[in-house]
Amino acid sequence: MRCPSFSWKESMMMRKPPAPRLAPGPERDRVAAELKAKYEAGATIRALAKETDRSYAGVHRLLADAGAHFRARGGVMRRGALTASPDSGKGTQTVREH
């Protein structure tokens, strides 16, 4: 969202510069290992991308190169989530019991 008191050019100049591109080598391996540790501790790829000023794809690539095991998309299902009942007709849903 743009601040109304600044021109577009001024607001672009106030942004942080993007993270430097990492060439293959020990520095890239170190950054990838740090991201992997944070991801496996529960951080999301989007949060890591924002924290490191990298793109989602860039963080995903670093995690893949580091051998991270990716979580399924969508997060944790809540208890009592609605699911389609296998014996019911189309369009009806029942509450799943745990």
Per-residue pLDDT reduced to its tens digit, 33-91: 999 999 999 999 999 999 999 999 999 999 999 999 999 887 666 666 555 555 555 55
Q: How far apart are CA 61 and CA 28, in angstroms?
A: 11
Is pTM, for the whole model, over 0.75? no
pLDDT score of 90: 53
pLDDT score of 86: 54
pLDDT score of 91: 53
pLDDT band at 21 (very low <50, low <70, confident <90, very high): confident
Which tokens go with 92? Answer: 């009806």
